[in-house]
Structure formats: C-alpha cells, structure tokens
Amino acid sequence: MSLAGVHAVVTGGSGGIGLEVARRLDAQGCSVTLIARGRERCEAAAAWIPGAYAVAADVSDERAVAEAFAAAKERYGDPAILVNNAGYAASAPLLKTSLAAWEAALAVNLTGAFLCSKAALPWMLECGFGRIVNVASTAGLKGYPYVSAYVAAKHGLVGLTRALALEVAARGVTVNAVCPGFTDTPLLDRSVEVIVGKTGRTEDEARAELARANPQGRLVQAAEVADAVAWLCSREASAVNGVALPVAGGEVG
C-alpha cells in the first residue's frame, strides 16, 4: 500500500481524526500538507510528522483555499490525495438554532469540501490518478436530535461524494466518504461538555451514553477511522468509488 512520493492534503489536520490520517499517510510514504484554521495548532501538529507542511486557512473561504493550495503545491507539487476532514458541530434544538449557526455548519462541513475538491481535482484528472476521501459521519446516514445543521451538512457531504464519484469514475480518480460513529476526539469532548452542562450528568455518564449508540458498546478510536481512510487512498482500493463507509461498530449498515 505504498504511496511513496504522493502529495496528500488533509484538512482539519491539527488534531483528532485529521492528525491520525496524516500520520497514516506519512507512514505510507506520502508528502503531507496539513490545513487547519489555527496556525499555532496546525504547526504544532505538523511537528509530530517529519516533513509535514502546515498551512493555516479557513476552508470555507474560497480565496483562503486557493492560497493554501498554491502554498502546498509550491512545497510538494500538486496533491493526488485530498482528505476533507475539517468539521464543525454545534448542538441546539432546531427552534434555537440561529441562521449563523446553520450557515457555519454548512460552510465548514460541506462548502469546505466543495472548495478543496475544486482546488485539487484538475491535476488529478490530468495525471489520471487521484483520491478524495470525505470524512462525513453516521450523521450523514441517519438522523440525530439537536444537531440538525450538522446532520444536514453531513448528508450533503455524502451526496457530494456520490455525485462527484460518478463524474470522475472513468478518469482514474475515486471519491469516497468514511462515516464514523461517535469517535474519541476533541470534537466529542465538546459534545460531552454540552451534555454535562445541560443534564447534570457526570462526564463518564455522558461518554457512556454516547458509547451506547455503538452496538460494540464503545467509542470509535481516531486511529480506526484513519485506517479506513488510508485504505481508501491506496492504489489497492481503485475499484471502490462512491462509497459512504460506516466506521461505527454496526450502528448503521
């Protein structure tokens, strides 16, 4: 599964699933660029991966994305792998969800993947090889209460995956999504804080409640999601296209 010399761009790469994905791709020989909004966190994450390049950018900003990809290309050449991992989630009932919160969820989770895919795709099509993997969620395959904006955005991301996969199917490029269940990351830590604050449960009780959604009775680990992403990026996965792959212990089929 060597991808020696292939340039991989990972958004949301400053921690959690994104950083684990970057480590896996680095181990397979990729040159890795991390894109994340916070410069300090992004550079700190890149320091864990020898040779990784950190670029600070807001993936929902078209100009920022163009500048980030220009910098990445100058460093390592055109990327043949793109992992759209940048994500944002806020919890509230629909009637208490502001338009700003709705638009923020769509901007990061969906528009960001759209803009980054547009930036990476031309060279993939030109050279006849490319891998785009969108990190969606089980929220892209089913509903959850109190996160309607996030669920809508992740459903949109799965739809984007399936549509783009068909557009590029005959050009050597695959487009797939992974759909993790509740995963032990800083994003989940923020969800736990909300549950604790609103229900009075302890942190352990809140985490146990989230783990119960997984038939295996546990939280998914970021490394497990990264393994799935890395396989979808491999040359051996060339016949896998347009798939939304659950990594959730059987929560969804």
CA distances from 168 to 137, 205, 229 (A): 23, 45, 19
Total residues found in the chain within this entry: 253
150 carries an active-site annotation: yes
Active-site hit among 53, 76, 88, 150: 150
Residue 158 is given by DSSP the state: H
**Closest-CA residue to 83 (of 128, 126, 146, 19):** 19
How far apart CA 239 and CA 220 sit, in angstroms, is 26
Other CB atoms within 10 Å distance of the CB of residue 20: 24
Phi, psi of 129 (to 5 degrees): -150, 135
**Which amino acids are annotated catalytic?**
150
